[in-house]
Structure 1
Amino acid sequence: MKRTSEFQKHSVLREDRDDGTILLRSSHALGPVVDNTGVWLHEWAEKAPDRTFLAERSGAGWREESYSATLQKVRAIASSLLARGMGPDTPIIIMSGNGVDHGLLSLAAQYVGVPTAPVAEQYSLIHGAHGRLQHAIELVHPKMAYVVDADQYSEALALEALNGIEILASRPGKNSKVTAFDELLKGDGSVDIDAAYAKVTPDTVAKILMTSGSTSAPKGVKTTQRMMCVNQTQIADALPFLRARPPRVVDWLPWNHVFGGSHNFNMMLANGGSFYIDDGKPVKGLFDRTVENLSMVTGSLVFNVPVGFGLLLGALQQDAALRQRFFSDLDLIFYAGASLPQEIWSGFEQMAMEVKGEIPLMTSSWGLTETAPATMMQSEPIDRSGVVGAPLNGVTLKLIPDADMRCEMRIKGPQVMPGYFEDPQKTKDAFDDEGFFITGDAMQFIDKADMNKGMKFDGRISEDFKLLTGTWVRAAQLRIDMLTCLAPLAADLVITGADKNQIGLMIFPDLSELERQGFDLSDDNGAYRCKLLQGEIHRRLAERAREVSGSSTLISRAIVLSEAASMPEGEMTAKGNLNFRKVLTRRAALLDRLYDDADPATITL
């Protein structure tokens, strides 16, 4: 099959230590790195002043900001921040989702060394999640808070934790205590903005990004200019077509998360690209907006999570005109968050060949908030999902293998964080005695004899557990397998069995899919007892049981939960990931029912 896009060929150097530890790094040298994000903004404002950089929906069309207009507004906003006495010790908390004003404020703050702390908009808009917002405010101690609409966010803005903090809003409404965003655009000629910009170094903290909180309370990751700038050089080294022509995205991924807000946003800025903000999402009721946006503008790069690609594939299959537009200029399909189901991968390959006779680079990478994020990438074309590739230029991987060559992953490189915000103990605990960041993730080699074949993600070390028999269960990989087995009935699930004799499942069903298939559900105090649904799950588990061997992968029981995972209760993070420990703790009674063979809600083999 003909494939588009230039790429950097993997070239991995391996060092084996006497204790079994393996060090991997790329033989390619890291390319030139700029000092701060302002360098990119100045470069493209000069080279392509009229090219669209940021855009968002406005009525029937788009509000578009060119590179020259962006630079002008960034400098005006930055001078207004300086005139307020803001600097490295006065962060701005951004409580709204993606938007042009959000982007301008972030860049302006970075331009003069004021950290921003973007948090998930759900923390402000969902009453029960205000505790997460409160935690972020108390951690960061901001001097300013931004929301897009003061009326929409009025309940969150009334939090006592925000008393004495200047509130900034693009739409201030009737709240006289709120500063209109347009006020900052007026600028302030009394400050020396060039002098302030000159003080921004690679070590300047640009953002404080909150971790997901899937295993503990969210931590603040100090994200420096160096981290972001190095990471874009690493990515463009691996994908040189980014430098060959300006990229373009229509993207919804949230900017409070490192994937959307650092990886994707900075990729456009670093390479003179255009970022069209998709105000849709891959959920029921909002995905139609994404399709509408794509009917107006399509990207040369597409980033999404697997569920988003599943919905997109379905939409493309139904619309020939959209299909033609989508693939006509496409260089890259990039998934993250979980492994892309192979049938979706194959569907995009087949469709690309039918439309234009070639396949864009389909790939993924691996990284964390603490690593800016990209650390490994599959830059060479492959024909299957699940591979996260080889180390990017400048990165050293430290792999600590077990008997099965499953490796604990540790990282060293210029894109790794200097530490957690105002938490020296957690910072100390995050690094080993050689200065490698301890990720807690596990990897496996695709081919133990050839490091250039890359690696695949093999779950979180902390998610593994032992059965009473002493058998280890690799919960993360097993969860992926079971989601495939139970698709599309299960929206998500939790693997159980720690200190039990058998492995079980607590299943969060996809209610819209169950409704579509005609399952008549009846609630039984936290669990569903629909005989038809239980029978279908039993059939699939029994069929799978005939194909597996050993207690470490055999699922012997399941229960279907009738209450969705709760973000206010901490069961779900803002990224939509389950906090497995919280689910098991909060639903301890249901966990007991799962292991009661006499309970009518329990499905047993």
Structure 2
Amino acid sequence: MTTEGRETMTSAYPATKFAPAEVVREDLGNGAFTLRSPQLFDIKVKNLSALLDRWASEVPDRPYLMERSQDDDVWQGVSYGEAHAQVQSLAAFLLAQGLGPNKPLLILSANSVRHGVLMLAAMHVGIPVVPVSVPYSLHDQTLAKLRHIVSVTSPGMAYAADSQAFANAFDYLGGEGITLLSDDGALTYDAALQTPVSDAVAVEAAKVDHQTVGKILFTSGSTGMPKGVIVNQEMMLASQQALVQIWPFLEVEPPVIVDWLPWNHTFGGNFNFNQILWNGGTFYIDDGKPVPGEIEKTMRNIRDVSPTLYFNVPKGFDMMLPVMREDAALRKAFFERLQLIFFSGAGLPDHLWEGLEELGVAERGEKVPFVSAWGATEAMLITCVHFPVPSADVIGLPTPGYELKFLPNGGKLEMRVRGPHVTPGYMNNAEKTAEAFDEDGFYLTGDAGRLVDQGDLSKGIYFDGRTSENFKLMTGTWVAVGNLRVALLDALKPIVSDAVIAGHNRNDIGALLFLNADECKSLAGRVDDLAGYASDPAVRAFIEERLSAYNAGQTGSATRVKRVLVQTDAPSVEKNEITDKGYINQRLALELRDGAVSELYEGSERVIASVKVHA
């Protein structure tokens, strides 16, 4: 669909009220400039605990954190009043165990009600929380990244729900003198809940202010070991204050979400988790995720709970869309109360946007807003969409409190940011902290952006790729990986679900393709595994035809994809090739699949070449 057509389709969103799209520009000279919101910005909340205090007082019986029971039959969890009481007891327990500002709490297991309450309890008394990516403990027998995290943070305690599942990690941590807490071990969560509330809880809680460290979140570590990002209370509060100023409808009706995004990432653990707490909503913890065999759980949960907001990564929408077209109950539950659809983590191909928008109009007779945002672990919610946008690569405008600097860099505009939402630095890593900021205190995001319309700033900002992902061909031509990936997925829809772009220091662009098994089944007319579909004549013919048609419309080597190689497996979660949020780590995938990249350029018979490439 053209940009002009998309603007017409999204000209009004009857169900949702957004703040006006306003921005102030200041030119710095030499092509550099800053953008900021004109809205006044003031955080009136002292810490996250103040929010829990409020809702426990005003709506003590409202469901807060919910999850499926062990037999999968019912939803169970805690109300705001119950969560408040448990936080007090758990905080007393953690203090009695000797934890404090310099003795953080590690959380190894996945999202759960107990994970959430324990996290709040630690932060209530100034104990930093270190949520760790689950694969670091379960899928790496060497525990290399977990060992690194321990060396950086010096934790006093580690929690995992199932001590047997995390036995390898627990053996290591116990050997380091770290106290082990679980649901089934020697020291149990249930026993911790029985701790009498001590005077020390009130004393330590009174000290927690904007500069208190709440969490240490680790980056993905795609190039070396992950860095520990210091997340203080001000960062978490600032992002939520900014959000309600541009999405004021959040304060009118308490949000209800069904969400799987992992809490060791800022998207799930800060943007989503804290959004529910800020607005007194209900968080249904989704036990699914966007991978085969797990996405079915997500769709079952949506059928049970009609969300008012829905957050996912593009891969999740890709897997849900074909099912939603056929499943009336899922479609009704998804759209019935929905105020907006939010995507992040990777670029969203147009066919997914258009498909979901069409289903929403058919189901409700009106458009449901499709929005996104841009941020980083180090800088939360830098920009956000709060106005109709023409395409999925528009990331909105700077949120209140932020100052966004654009600086010419290699033909692009590098984006840097300053404000209360930005980290003070990396844990025990002064060198990396110094490298992360410029002389004016702006954080170097490593991302590029450009204005949608130079004459109308209210149209927002296009995301223009990561400067670190982009590469040059042998000719010196720059390739914008993020934009190209989305365009290629649109061309090969719906058979291909993801792609890794290759071609650094080569004559032309190639790509490694990952298949959508459900769509391949329909095309091939049979059930098979990914390896079978990769060699299926109908699948290969479809890809060749679509690839050639795509290339026929390209006029330069920066966007033409001359060759592709279909992968016979899915991206590896264990190797962090696909992140916890469900999107491809381009740089790491190229490293892990260097043999496939070599095959791509060596004329293997498995390679599919475009037959209509310009000279």
Structure 1 length-normalised TM? 0.92
Provide closer, same or farther for how the CA distance between residues 523 and 237 of structure 1 changes in structure 2, counting only shifts above 3 A.
Answer: closer
Q: CA deviation at 1:234?
A: 0.3
Q: 1:206 aligns with which of 211, 214, 218?
A: 214
Residue type of the alignment partner of 1:492:
D
Counterparts of 2:231 and 2:296 in 1: how far apart (Å)? 34
Cα displacement (A) at 1:257: 1.0
Distance 1:452 1:522, change over 3 A: closer
Q: Does 1:472 align with 2:485?
A: no
User: Judging changes above 3 Å, is the alpha-carbon distance between structure 1 residues 186 and 465 closer, same or farther for their aligned structure 2 residues?
Assistant: same
What is residue 600 of structure 2 aligned with on the other side?
Answer: 594
Aligned match of 1:377: 384
Q: Partners of 1:530 and 1:357 in 2: how far apart?
A: 40
1:456 pairs with 2:467: no
Q: CA deviation at 1:553?
A: 1.3
Matches within 5 A, 1:302-313: 302-313=310-321
Distance 1:510 1:322 in 2: 20
- Is 1:141 equivalent to 2:154 in the alignment? yes
Of 569, 572, 587 in structure 2, the residue corresponding to residue 581 of structure 1 is 587
Cα 1:262–1:502, aligned 2, differ >3 Å: closer, same or farther? same
- Matched with 2:278 is 270
Choose which of 538, 543, 559 in structure 2 pairs with 1:553.
559
1:442 aligns with 2:448: yes
Distance, in Å, in 2 between the alignment partners of 1:308 and 1:567 is 15
Alpha-carbon distance in structure 2 between the residues aligned to 1:181 and 1:160:
18
d(CA) in 1 for partners of 2:481, 2:174:
39
CA contact 1:213–1:573 (8 Å) conserved in 2: no
Kept after mapping to 2: 8 A contact 1:122/1:129: no
Question: Please, which moves more after superposition, 113-122 or 344-353?
Answer: 344-353
Stretch of structure 1 that moved more, 201-210 or 466-475:
466-475
For the residues of structure 2 that align with 1:204 and 1:57, how far apart are their CA atoms? 33
Q: Quick one: which of 384, 391, 416 aligns to 2:398?
A: 391
**Offset of 1:107 from its aligned partner?**
0.1
The reply on whether 1:507 has 2:513 as its aligned counterpart is: yes
How far apart are 1:256 and its partner, in Å? 1.1
Residue 403 of structure 1 and its aligned partner are, at CA, apart by 8.0
Deviation at 1:351, TM superposition (A): 3.2
Counterpart for residue 232 of structure 1: 240
Which AA in structure 2 matches 1:376?
Answer: T
Aligned mates of 2:500, 2:333 — CA distance in 1: 39
Q: Deviations over 1:388-436 (max 9, x none)?
A: 11000011000013586x3111000100000011111000000001100
One-letter amino acid of the structure 2 residue matched with residue 327 of structure 1:
F
Q: Which moved more, 1:302-311 or 1:352-361?
A: 352-361
Which residue of structure 2 lines up, in the alignment, with residue 151 of structure 1? 164
The answer for unaligned runs of 5 or more in structure 2 is 1-11, 611-615
2:110 is equivalent to residue 104 of structure 1: no
**Which residue matches 2:609?**
604
Deviations, residues 471-513 of structure 1 (Å, cap 9, x unaligned)? 1111221122112222333333222221111111122334554
What is the match of residue 48 of structure 2?
Answer: 37
More moved, 425-434 vs 475-484: 475-484
Which piece of structure 1 moves more, 24-33 or 483-492?
A: 483-492
Q: 2-side partners of 1:455 and 1:338: how far apart?
A: 16
Task: Give the Cα–Cα distance (whole angstroms) in 1 for the partners of residues 180 and 24 of structure 2.
Answer: 51
Secondary structure of the corresponding residue to residue 463 of structure 1: coil
Structure 1, 18-27 or 28-37: larger mean CA deviation: 28-37
Aligned match of 2:67: 56
Call closer, same or farther: CA 1:451–1:319 in 2, change over 3 Å.
same
Taking structure 1 as reference, are residues 189 and 536 closer, same or farther at Cα in structure 2, changes over 3 Å only? closer
Q: Is the counterpart of residue 67 in structure 1 residue 80 in structure 2?
A: yes
**Larger mean Cα displacement after TM superposition, 333-342 or 312-321:** 312-321
224, 228, 231: which one aligns with 1:220: 228
- AA paired with 2:465? G
SS for the counterpart of 2:352 is helix
Residues 403 and 183 (structure 1), Cα distance of their counterparts in 2 relative to 1, 3 Å cut: closer
Which whole-Å CA distance do the structure 2 matches of 1:195 and 1:428 have between them? 34
Q: Which amino acid in structure 2 is aligned with residue 6 of structure 1?
A: K
Query: What SS class does the counterpart of residue 507 from structure 2 fall into?
Result: coil
- Once residues 72 and 376 of structure 1 are traced to their aligned partners in structure 2, the CA distance between those partners, rounded to angstroms, is 36
The aligned counterpart of 2:613 is: none
| Partner residue in 1 for 2:3 | none
Query: What does the per-residue CA deviation read over 1:259-291, in whole Å, with 9 as the maximum and x for residues that have no partner?
Result: 111101101101111111111222222222222
Q: Over residues 511-570 of structure 1, what are the superposed CA-to-partner deviations in whole Å (9 max), with x where a residue is unaligned?
A: 55445533888979xx96655544433322221221100111111222223354444445
Which whole-Å deviations, capped at 9, do the CAs of 1:275-331 have from their partners, x for residues lacking one? Answer: 111112222222222222222222111111122223334443333344334333221
Counterparts of 1:260 and 1:571, CA distance in 2: 19
Alignment of 1:76-87 (within 5 A): 76-87=89-100
Work out the CA distance in 2 between the residues paired with 1:2 and 1:575. Answer: 28
Question: What is the number of residues matched between the two proteins?
Answer: 595
> How far apart in 2 are the matches of 1:539 and 1:9?
44
Return the offset for 1:197: 0.4
Report the AA paired with residue 95 of structure 1. Answer: L
Contact 1:522–1:530, Cα closer than 8 Å, also in 2: no
1:6 correspondence with 2:17? yes
The answer to whether the 8 Å contact 1:215/1:579 transfers is no
Give the aligned partner of residue 545 of structure 2: 539
- Partners of 2:484 and 2:340 lie apart in 1 by 29
Which range moved further: 531-540 or 272-281? 531-540
Q: 1:120 aligns with which of 130, 133, 136?
A: 133
Letter in 2 for 1:243: E
- Take 1:259 and 1:129, find their aligned partners in 2: how far apart are those partners? 28
Q: 1:210 to 1:4 in 2, by over 3 A?
A: same
Residue 274 of structure 1 aligns to which amino acid in structure 2?
T
The structural deviation recorded for 1:334 is: 1.0
In 2, Cα distance between equivalents of 1:537 and 1:455: 32
Q: Output the CA distance in 2 between the equivalents of 1:581 and 1:32.
A: 38
The answer to whether structure 1 residue 167 and structure 2 residue 180 are counterparts is yes
* Greater Cα offset, 52-61 or 572-581: 572-581
AA partner of residue 562 (structure 2): S
Q: For residue 159 of structure 1, give the secondary structure of its aligned residue in structure 2.
A: helix
Alpha carbons 1:232, 1:270 under 8 Å: kept = yes
Partner of 2:4: none
1:258 match: 266
The one-letter code of the counterpart of 2:34 is L
SS class of match (2:53): helix
Q: What's the CA shift for 1:49? A: 1.2
Residue 449 of structure 1: CA displacement? 1.3
Q: C-alpha displacement at 1:383, in angstroms? A: 5.4
**In structure 2, C-alpha distance between the alignment counterparts of 1:563 and 1:320, rounded to whole Å:** 31
Alignment of 1:310-321 (within 5 A): 310-321=318-329
SS at structure 2 position matched to 1:235: helix
CA displacement 1:83-116 (0-9 Å, x = unmatched): 1221100111111111000001000000000011
DSSP-derived class of the 1:7 partner: coil
The aligned residue for residue 16 of structure 1 is 27
CA contact (8 A) 2:313 2:581 kept: no
2:417 is equivalent to residue 411 of structure 1: yes
Structure 1 gaps of 5+ residues are none
User: 329-338 or 263-272: which moved more?
Assistant: 329-338
CA contact (8 A) 2:531 2:569 kept: no
Residues 181 and 383 of structure 1: CA distance in aligned 2, closer, same or farther (over 3 Å):
same
Aligned residues: CA RMSD:
2.4
Partner of 1:25: 36
Report the more deviating stretch, 380-389 or 539-548.
380-389
**Residues 465 and 473, structure 1, Cα contact 8 Å, conserved in 2:** yes
